[in-house]
């Protein structure tokens, strides 16, 4: 598995800040492209931790717990290209339209984010140009680089949210492509019949999403956004189990999409 990242000049990011994206297996001609928009929890040094205590960055509001690790293992198993976002979704959410209120949230699951309150238009623009735009240009470039048939986004969700218990083990979100989501869900059921699988649960793809609508729907790529409950992803064994389940399902999907 190869990995690289490129630095982009920005008035926001300093030389010691992480790059605005990471690419794994960028030279792979695989028909599958993987994305993980909430893989990281970095904050540009100029933003002074967004005024948050360090322990907040261990919470689900800061990143999708375990999703990056699972995505890397799937990319390794499939030798597929993967684009990861190293910055926290609290800096800018790379799976939201930039004009959305929760693209740079002032509060998240009841937690106030001081560094996002009363943000100026210029400060908002700096985050978009420094992080959001290069991340999504990279996804587009990878899709156009080779013959791609499939885009899969890897996410995780928290079991307890806004006073609700969400008991699904995994969910498949879709809008334009129900067929792919149902195929992947069926593949998981065959591999582990005990799984409780949500279809458009706990989330569905809608106007509040960005990556799948922007990169997959218009190109008519097979696609799904996969949400794994994050208490399954607290250790390496959990990462491996879910990567094995999903890589097998995605590989079967890709083989069905391959030209005969």
- Give per-residue pLDDT as tens, 179-231: 999 999 999 999 999 999 999 999 999 999 999 999 999 999 999 999 999 99
Give me the mean pLDDT over the 18-39 stretch: 98
User: What pLDDT score was predicted for residue 258?
Assistant: 66
Per the structure, how many domains does the chain have?
1
pLDDT at 52 over 70: yes
- Tell me the HSE value of 166 on the side-chain side, using a 13 A CA sphere: 23
What is the tens place of the pLDDT at every residue in 218-230?
999 999 999 999 9
Which pLDDT does position 2 carry in this prediction?
Answer: 54
pLDDT over 70 (residue 126):
yes
Per-residue pLDDT at 9 exceeds 70: no
Place of tokens 């690419």: 23
Local structure of residue 87 (DSSP, 8 states)? B
pTM, 2 dp = 0.94
For residue 210 the two structure tokens come to 């960005």
Alpha-carbon distance 218 to 200, whole Å? 20
pLDDT at 1 over 70: no
Q: How far apart are CA 60 and CA 108, in angstroms?
A: 10
Is the backbone of residue 184 left (phi > 0), alpha (psi -120 to 50) or beta? alpha
Q: What average pLDDT score do residues 63-85 get?
A: 98
- Return the pLDDT at 166: 87
- Model pLDDT, residue 6: 45
Q: Is the pLDDT confidence value at 114 over 50?
A: yes
| Mean pLDDT value across residues 96-123 | 96
The residue count of the chain comes to 260
Residue 256 pLDDT greater than 90, yes or no: no
Cβ(148)–Cβ(32) under 8 Å?
Answer: yes
Give the mean pLDDT of 124-141: 98
Long-range pairs of 72-77 with CB within 8 A, sequence gap ≥ 24: 72/1, 72/24, 73/239, 73/240, 73/243, 73/244, 73/247, 74/34, 74/154, 74/243, 74/246, 74/247, 74/250, 75/1, 75/24, 75/25, 75/34, 76/1, 76/24, 77/243, 77/244, 77/247, 77/251
pLDDT of residue 4: 47
Q: In terms of residue numbers, what domain contains 20?
A: 3-257
Is the predicted pLDDT of residue 32 greater than 70, yes or no? yes
pLDDT of residue 260: 46
At which residue do the structure tokens 């949210």 appear?
161
Q: Where are the beta strands (DSSP E) in the chain?
A: 3-4, 22-24, 32-36, 82-84, 107-108, 111-112, 150-157, 160-161, 164-165, 170-173, 197-199, 222-229
Task: Give 134's pLDDT tier (boundaries 50, 70, 90).
Answer: very high
Look over the chain and give the mean of its residue pLDDT values, rounded to a whole number. Answer: 94
CATH number for 112: 3.40.630.40
Q: HSE of 117 in the Cβ direction (CA atoms, 13 Å)?
A: 8
């Amino acid at each position: 598995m190869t990995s690289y990242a490129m630095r982009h000049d920005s008035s926001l990011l300093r030389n010691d800040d992480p790059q605005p994206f990471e690419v794994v297996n960028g030279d792979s001609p695989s028909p599958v492209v993987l994305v993980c928009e909430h893989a990281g929890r970095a904050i540009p040094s100029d933003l002074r931790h967004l005024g948050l205590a360090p322990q907040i960055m261990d919470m689900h509001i800061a990143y999708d717990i375990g999703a990056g690790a699972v995505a890397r293992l799937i990319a390794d198993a499939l030798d597929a290209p993967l684009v990861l976002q190293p910055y926290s979704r609290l800096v800018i959410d790379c799976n939201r339209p930039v004009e959305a209120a929760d693209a740079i949230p002032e509060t998240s699951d009841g937690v106030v984010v001081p560094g996002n309150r009363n943000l100026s238009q210029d400060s908002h623009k700096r985050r978009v140009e420094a992080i959001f735009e290069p991340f999504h240009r990279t996804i587009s470039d990878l899709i156009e680089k080779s013959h791609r048939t499939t885009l899969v986004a890897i996410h995780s969700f928290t079991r307890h949210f806004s006073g609700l218990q969400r008991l699904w083990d995994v969910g498949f979100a879709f809008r334009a492509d129900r067929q792919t989501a149902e195929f992947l869900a069926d593949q998981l059921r065959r591999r582990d019949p005990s799984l409780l699988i949500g279809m458009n649960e706990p989330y569905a793809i809608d106007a509040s999403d960005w990556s799948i609508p922007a990169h997959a729907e218009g190109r008519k790529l097979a696609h799904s956004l996969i949400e794994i409950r994050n208490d399954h992803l607290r250790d390496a064994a959990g990462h491996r189990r879910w990567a094995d389940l999903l890589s097998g399902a995605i590989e079967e999907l890709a083989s069905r999409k391959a030209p005969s």
